[in-house]
Amino acid sequence: MISRDDVEHVARLARLALSAAEAERMREQLSGILDYIDTLRALDTAGVEPTSHAVPLVNVMRDDETRPCLPPDVVLANAPDPSDAFFRVPRIIEE
């Protein structure tokens, strides 16, 4: 069971502005889904190592060399608010 406070806390972590109606619907739906997911808790997994990936690859390395990359104007072409060679955002540090 997930509370309205939980939903609001998680929405803040996820950077999602939810309306009150959306938050309530989310609480109901997530509760239903989590009830189902909770069936997993019944499984005994003591001593089982976790699988994070289907293929056992570790530490894929490459040489530390410079390689060509996209020019700044191409990278900034999709930016909502470019300024010179930068992405402009609202002020973060108080004056």
Partner 1 sequence: MAAPTIHELTAAFARGEQSPVAVAESYLARIDTLDGRVGAYLTVMRDEALSAARASEARYRAGAPLGPLDGAPVALKDVFCTRGVRTTCGSRILESFVPPYDATMVERLRTAGAVILGKTNMDEFAMGSSTEHSAFHVTRNPWDLTRVPGGSSGGSAAAVAGGLAAGAFGTDTGGSVRQPAAFCGVVGLKPTYGRVSRYGLIAFASSLDHVAPFALDIVDTALLLGAVAGHDPLDATSVEAPVPDYVAALAGGVKGLRIGVPDEYFGAGLDPEIDRAVRAAIDVLRDRGATIERVSLPSTAYGVATYYIVAPAEASSNLARYDGVKYGLRVPGKDLIDMASRTRAAGFGAEVKRRIMLGTYALSAGYHEAYYGQAQKVRTLVRREFEAAFARVDLLAAPTTPGVAFTHGDKADPLAMYMNDVYTIPASMTGLPAVSVPCGFNAAGLPIGLQLIGRALDEPTLLRAAHAYEQATPWRHRSPALG
* Euclidean distance between CA atoms 79 and 88, whole angstroms: 9
What mask of x and - would describe binding to partner 1 in positions 12 to 51, judged by CB under 8 A?
A: -xxxxxx---x---x--xx-xxx-xx-xxx-x-x--xxxx
- Applying CB under 8 A, the site for partner 1 has a residue count of 50
C-alpha distances (whole Å) from 63 to each of 27, 50, 79 are 48, 30, 31
Choice from 3, 4, 6, 83 touching partner 1 (CB under 8 A): 6
Regarding 5 and contact with partner 1 (CB under 8 A), the answer is: no
What's at 43, amino acid-wise?
Answer: L
* Euclidean distance between CA atoms 23 and 78, whole angstroms: 31
Regarding 60 and contact with partner 1 (CB under 8 A), the answer is: yes
* Euclidean distance between CA atoms 38 and 41, whole angstroms: 6
Residue tagged 């990936």 (tokens):
53
Can you give the binding site for partner 1, defined by CB under 8 A?
A: 2, 6-7, 9-11, 13-18, 22, 26, 29-30, 32-34, 36-37, 39-41, 43, 45, 48-55, 57, 60, 62, 70, 74-75, 77-81, 87, 89-92
